[in-house]
Amino acid sequence: MIRPTASVVRLLAAAALALGLALAAQTPGEAHKAITSKYLFNEDMFPLFRDRCGRCHVDGGVAPMSLLTHEDASPWAESLRLEFLSEEPAPPWHQMTLTPRELDMMLVWANGGTPRGDASKPPPPVKLVNEWAQGAPDVPLRLPAPFTLEATANEASHEVVLPLTAAAGRTIGAVDLLPGNPAIVRSAVLKLKTADGDTRDLGTWMPGRTTAVVLAAPVKIAAGASLTAPIEYRRTWKYEGQMLTDHSAVGLYDAGARRATPSARPAPGAARP
Ligand code: HEC
């Protein structure tokens, strides 16, 4: 009989450990995974997810899943790691600056068994906030017609033309879009078209913004002008096979007007009057 040498024993132990780690990594959030994270969902992760991700990752939001309960967030631990710690450039909706501490918390929690924390202190339920980012615009305009994303289409680009008759003569400093169906409106490149057909870009709207789109310079709206925009729609797997309708609105803000600062807007899930 061959006696295993010390180095073979070490090798086997290392292999067993690696296998154990690999298995653990494949089953994130499962009850039997060792809890090594000092960060807990209810105490530490919920405020982070609410403030940094909750504008989109909330039921009814543009992202496919909520991250605002322990049950909803835990299964995404591995995917979260891949998304935020990869070298790949982030997709447009994830181009945010997370602090090193926020990244560290996500990594530690995702790798460390996604602990819930004190079960007697669950976080408050969070509802989607679908409001003008900067308060009611001076000129709110509903798009002329609703748009339907057919059940068979996963994405669509829809060109809208909105006459600006109601805003003629005003000087505009910012413009915003309020999605009718926040789950599917992905982006809109807002342009101003004059009566003689010249167009200029005003800016690009994306979901989850905390301010309106501020124009590079104020623009006077002449008679006969209209706002045009290709609006990009996309469904996530959550709405597979459903017919979905959107009727968004565009808002214009007078140049130089004093506005509520974004920080005056309550965070989703924060106490609201
Ligand atoms: C501006 C909106 C927005 C914000 C803010 C946002 N996300 Fe997302 N996220 C999305 C969208 C949209 C998708 C789905 C993209 C798709 O597949 O079409 C997504 C997808 C994901 C996915 C799934 C990737 C996969 O495997 O398919 C993870 C994980 C994720 N987000 C984590 C986060 C975390 C964590 C935060 C906060 C630190 C965050 N997101 C902030 C919009 C957002």
Rounded Cα gap, residues 144 and 228, in angstroms: 11
Rounded Cα gap, residues 99 and 15, in angstroms: 35
Nearest CA to ligand 1 atom 26: 79
User: Which residues, 6 or more positions from 156, have their beta carbon under 8 angstroms from its beta carbon?
Assistant: 147, 149, 150, 232, 233
pLDDT digits (tens, 9 = 90+) for 216-240: 999 999 999 999 999 999 999 999 9
CA distances from 225 to 197, 216, 219, 267 (A): 9, 19, 11, 36
Nearest Cα neighbor of 115 from 9, 203, 183, 32 is 32
The pLDDT score that the predictor gives to residue 2 is 43
Ligand 1 centroid–CA 48 distance in Å is: 14
What integer is the mean pLDDT of 155-171?
97
Nearest CA to ligand 1 atom 27: 79
The pLDDT score that the predictor gives to residue 95 is 87
pLDDT at 41 over 90: yes
The pLDDT score that the predictor gives to residue 32 is 60
Rg, the chain, Cα only: 24
Ligand 1 centroid–CA 81 distance in Å is: 12
CA distances from 231 to 88, 139, 144, 149, 177 (A): 26, 20, 13, 12, 10
The pLDDT score that the predictor gives to residue 268 is 46
The pLDDT score that the predictor gives to residue 87 is 85
The pLDDT score that the predictor gives to residue 14 is 47
The pLDDT score that the predictor gives to residue 259 is 56
Nearest Cα neighbor of 147 from 174, 181, 114, 177 is 181
To test the pocket of ligand 1, the residue of 48, 66, 93 to mutate (highest count of ligand atoms within 8 Å of its CB) is: 93
Ligand 1 centroid–CA 165 distance in Å is: 38
Nearest CA to ligand 1 atom 20: 63
